[in-house]
């Protein structure tokens, strides 16, 4: 709970650490099709607002990507088939988003965007927090030889 609390503390200061996490899609077994950011930078349910029914958002919102992409049609969850206009545009935008998705037989995993490897590290969080929260030091440090080192260091 302390970690969650601290995430909220830094979020209130304009640093959202949760934005540094993204699901790495592989077989789609752990990624919610409508609720998780797994393709692009948007939750797919926000892409198709006119096509969503309220019951879809409450009952089928945790449908996994692997399950959804094996269905015969993507409009299975909609309140009705697209009827042209905005609905058709949103449906076609959804089709464009998912048409090149290839699933592989390996379980999904979280990816940490602050590391090239995709693995989480405390050092990357520390560097991000330091970069955003500590002031830039543009002046050179001035050491006073008569003052003890620990005092000089503290005064920087």
Q: What is the pLDDT of residues 80-127, one digit of tens each?
A: 778 888 888 888 888 888 888 999 999 999 899 899 999 999 899 888
The string of pLDDT tens digits covering residues 14-68 is: 888 888 888 889 999 999 888 888 887 788 888 777 666 554 555 556 789 998 8
pLDDT category at 133 given cuts 50, 70, 90 is: confident
Q: What is the pTM of this model?
A: 0.63
**Share in percent of the chain as helix, strand, coil (round to 5):** 45, 5, 50
- What is the Cα 51 distance to its own chain's centre? 24
d(CA 36, CA 29): 12
CA 90/CA 95 separation, integer angstroms? 9
């Amino acid at each position: 709970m302390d970690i969650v609390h601290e995430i909220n503390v830094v979020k209130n200061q304009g640093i959202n650490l949760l934005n540094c996490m993204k699901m790495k899609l592989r077989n789609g077994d752990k990624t919610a099709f409508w609720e998780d950011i797994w393709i692009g930078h948007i939750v797919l349910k926000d892409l198709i607002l006119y096509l969503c029914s309220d019951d879809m958002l409450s009952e089928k919102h945790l449908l996994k990507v692997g399950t959804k992409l094996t269905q015969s049609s993507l409009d299975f969850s909609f309140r009705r088939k697209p009827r042209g206009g905005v609905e058709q545009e949103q449906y076609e935008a959804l089709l464009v988003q998912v048409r090149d998705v290839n699933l592989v037989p390996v379980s999904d995993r979280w990816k940490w965007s602050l590391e090239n490897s995709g693995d989480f590290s405390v050092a990357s969080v520390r560097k991000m927090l330091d970069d955003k929260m500590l002031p830039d030091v543009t002046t050179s440090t001035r050491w006073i030889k008569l003052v003890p080192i620990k005092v000089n260091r503290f005064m920087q």
